[in-house]
Amino acid sequence: MSLLHWAILAPFIMAIFVPFLRKKAASIHTGWFVLILPVVLFGTFLQYLPVTTNNDSVMQTASWIPSLGINFTVYMDGLSLLFALLISGIGSLVVLYSIYYLSKTKESLHHFYVYLLMFMGSMLGVVLSDNVIMLYMFWEFTSISSFLLIAYWYDRERSRYGALKSMLITVFGGLMMLGGFLVLSIMGNTFSIRELAAQATELNEHPLFLLAMILVLLGAFTKSAQFPFYIWLPDAMEAPTPVSAYLHSATMVKAGIYLVARFSPIFAFSGYWFWIVGTVGLFTMVWASFNAVKQTDLKGILAFSTVSQLGLIMSLLGIGAASLHFDSLDDNLFTTAVIAAIFHLINHATFKGSLFMVVGIIDHETGTRDIRKLGGLMSFMPITFTLSVIGAFSMAGLPPFNGFLSKEMFFLSMVQLMELNLFNIDTWAVLFPVLAWVGSVFTFIYSMIIVFKVFTGKFQPEKLEKKPHEAPVGMLISPIILALLVVVFGLFPNLLSYSLIQPAAAAIVPSIIPPGEQLYVNIYFWHGINAELLMTIGVVAVGILLYKFMPKWVRVYEYFPGKITLNQFYNAGLYAAERGSNAITNAYMTGFIRTYLVYIFAFFIAALGFTMWAKDAFRYDASAVAPIGLYEGCLIIVLLAATLTILMAKSRLTSIISLGAVGYTVSLFFVIFRAPDLALTQLVIETVSTALFLLCFYHLPKLSRHAEKRRFQAGNAIIAAGVGIIVTLLGISAHSSKFFASINEYYIENTYEKAGGENMVNVILVDFRGFDTLFEIAVLSVAALGIYGLIKLRLEKGGETNENK
């Protein structure tokens, strides 16, 4: 395997050793050992910058299941490298932050870091896999590991609820995505994303194309919390703050963004891609930003802001595709929108990661995240206040921070969208920039709430659990680094233009780039007085007014029905599913073995009977059957009589004797058919089993009168007759439908030559099927030991043995 393969597997390997590190070095915080890995991975991925900057890529394959076309193929291009750097870079800062946030004496650190490393490796697998089956496998690993991280404080009901909610929704999307991958593989006859992208023109004309697109988008929308699937992300904020900073701002929720970007070369030339991705993303942005304003918990505000920002990025990826389908490829809308999406992806990771850590500091040092209890903290926590201003102002789209630049590019993309001939009524095109502007206004408002509701105003020490003070230096390092990146990327945006942004954008739809050329990327502050600048000025002006007069209009949220929400639908659906499953389970789990046998045999009759009828599988050929003689006829009569006696007997002794008669009659058949060894075996078994039955039933009470007057069970009779008829028909058909020569000739010819034995049956059991016989003996031995243990274990009431009494 290559270096990239080991980079993916390294977090999983280290996760195995984390519990041992905790035991061997109990005096040292486990995070210091874990921190080494993401730092090394970040340095490793940086080595690929020269490759992707030249628009080259690296593909390496490790064979896994080549017969099915499933291989561990990793692919590194500009898009993969960008996400790999975010995963490892933000991961390093989160681990460093967690060392000071999580107490080594009060927290189960080995669990935390095992889950975190599992998630890191899973995300790297998602963004570096070229094989869709491998991508899906790592995709579901992210759902499982994030479930464990969200439920880290499992003693809290809200943590368990949020973890289950996130897993149910994201796993549902993952299964839909797998269906889309399978449909794509059928269409393109390959599991490789690169090979599927090369067939994009042919795939777009396939009748299953739209189905595959919708299934893949379901996976992306659920993971990236797009409407209506966003409801899991606010509840996932019950996780520790380092988890929120890592999963819900920089990595996990970006997996859906990555999926949309990675599959754009396949789907982006379809008009459906623009309408679905663009409109869902834009509506998610507006809806989430509107709901963020009414939150009173700081992490709740950041949760809805994350949903909103993800919707913004998603809408840019969809809108960029509009120019590819509806207009000429010379239009610069695609490049503007995709470059804006990539740039805002980076910016969001920096300012939102910093803000999550700041909120964690506030919670850690004051004991609350409720903005109704906070206020006047600026003098107590000046560094934290400065970090909040940088992160929140960047999120609001204010200069000179990086969020301003990508927000301007977002507005520019919306303005350019109106120039395309997409709408029957020209005025409808105005809805896109208007919605973008409205969402940005609410983004400005909740950004101001984070800063001014917490750090200015009246100080309320009586409502705080702790006396506020500045966080320790170690806890401030990570958010300071991210805040510095916010400022640096804002003042010098072209540091990223051709190192990260251009290669990542070029990887999204490479077919529009002429050979030997690169996308032109030049990001700068001043563009003159234009529409997007006027939109930003309007956002600031209206945002300030709405923030100042917020008490007068915030009651508008009361008009929304509280009982008709997506969360209520989710809870009601979960409750209905639980009640329905319990009802179904209680209906067939009666506790009686007889009932379970009825289910099994009824299915047996229906499945085999229908198959034989539908496939016309029944055959009858008596040409090779020997005639039934007098002896066989007499034995059949005796056999039937003994069997009916078992059913009609009113005493156990009669039933046991009749059962023995059945066995002895069968042994006489073996004698007639010249198999004396089988007859002898049958006689021994029947003798021993009859004696054991008599011994066991001797200790049972006599049958009651009620048992002696058993009613005829028509259903049981039908099931029994059905099984007998089906098995008989199956045996007759199998005997009459021989497609190849019987194996008995092989045994006749080789019993003595190869096994050196004259008794064919013994040779088959001991030599030809020796392992089968050995395992059967092993099973019987285990069963015998279990029975012996049950006999020797004589438990008294209360669970004490005789010896302990």
| Residue entry with tokens 């080595």 | 47
pTM for this model (two decimals): 0.81
Top-confidence residue, 442 or 494: 442
For the residues 695-720, what does the mean pLDDT come to?
69
Q: Which region among 238-252, 315-329, 619-633 has the lowest average model confidence (pLDDT)? A: 315-329
For the residues 55-65, what does the mean pLDDT come to?
90
* DSSP-assigned beta bridge partners for residue 75: 59
Predicted pLDDT at 796 = 45
Predicted pLDDT at 209 = 95
DSSP string of 543-612?
Answer: HHHHHHTHHHHGGGGGGS-TTSSHHHHHHHHHHHHHHHHHHHHHHH--S-HHHHHHHHHHHHHHHHHHHH
Cα–Cα distance, 300 to 303 (Å, whole number): 5
Residues 632 and 756 in one domain: yes
21 falls within a domain: no
Which residues lie below 8 Å from residue 373, measured CB to CB, with a gap of 6+?
460, 463, 464
Cα–Cα distance, 11 to 26 (Å, whole number): 21
User: Angle at which helices 157-188 and 132-150 pack, to 10 degrees?
Assistant: 180
CATH code assigned at 711: 1.20.120
Cα–Cα distance, 247 to 243 (Å, whole number): 6
Residues 578 and 675 in one domain: no
User: Angle at which helices 473-491 and 78-101 pack, to 10 degrees?
Assistant: 150
Predicted pLDDT at 790 = 83
Contact 446, 349 (CB under 8 A): no
Give the tokens for residue 335. Answer: 């490049």
Residues 608 and 578 in one domain: no
For the residues 761-770, what does the mean pLDDT come to?
83
214 falls within a domain: no
Residues 638 and 577 in one domain: no
Predicted pLDDT at 67 = 83
Q: Which region among 144-158, 382-396, 591-605 has the lowest average model confidence (pLDDT)? A: 591-605
CA 665 to chain centre: 59
3-state secondary structure of 700: coil
Residues 597 and 649 in one domain: yes
For the residues 63-71, what does the mean pLDDT come to?
87
Count of the separate structural domains present in the chain: 2
379 falls within a domain: no
Q: How confident is the model at residue 341 (pLDDT cuts 50, 70, 90)?
A: very high
CA angle 163, 167, 169 (to 5 degrees): 120
353 falls within a domain: no
For the residues 245-269, what does the mean pLDDT come to?
90
For the residues 305-319, what does the mean pLDDT come to?
94
766 has pLDDT over 90 = no
**CB neighbours (10 Å) of residue 162?**
22
**CB neighbours (10 Å) of residue 488?**
14
76 falls within a domain: no
Nearest to 620 by CA among 612, 628, 631, 610: 612
Residues 671 and 578 in one domain: no
Residues 571 and 611 in one domain: no
Q: Which region among 8-17, 161-170, 707-716 has the lowest average model confidence (pLDDT)? A: 707-716
Q: How confident is the model at residue 514 (pLDDT cuts 50, 70, 90)?
A: low
Residues 742 and 705 in one domain: yes
Contact 132, 193 (CB under 8 A): yes
740 falls within a domain: yes
DSSP string of 406-466?
Answer: HHHHHHHHHHHHTTS---SSGGGGGHHHHHHHHHHHHHHHHHHIIIIIHHSS---GGG-SS
Q: How far is CA 608 from CA 429, 611, 619, in A?
A: 61, 5, 14
Residues 614 and 657 in one domain: yes
Contact 698, 656 (CB under 8 A): no
Predicted pLDDT at 438 = 96
Region for residue 616 given its phi and psi (left: phi exceeds 0; alpha: psi -120 to 50; beta: otherwise): left
Range of the domain at 761: 593-765
Which residues lie below 8 Å from residue 2, measured CB to CB, with a gap of 6+?
60, 62, 74
Q: How confident is the model at residue 428 (pLDDT cuts 50, 70, 90)?
A: low
Residues 636 and 721 in one domain: yes
Cα–Cα distance, 531 to 413 (Å, whole number): 11
571 has pLDDT over 80 = yes
630 falls within a domain: yes
- 368-387 pLDDT tens trace: 999 999 999 999 999 999 99
**CB neighbours (10 Å) of residue 653?**
12
Predicted pLDDT at 704 = 58
- Given 584, 604, 631, the domain boundary residue is 584
Predicted pLDDT at 489 = 94
Predicted pLDDT at 707 = 47
Residues 562 and 658 in one domain: no
645 falls within a domain: yes
- 288-310 pLDDT tens trace: 999 999 999 999 999 999 999 99
Residues 616 and 676 in one domain: yes
Top-confidence residue, 27 or 474: 474
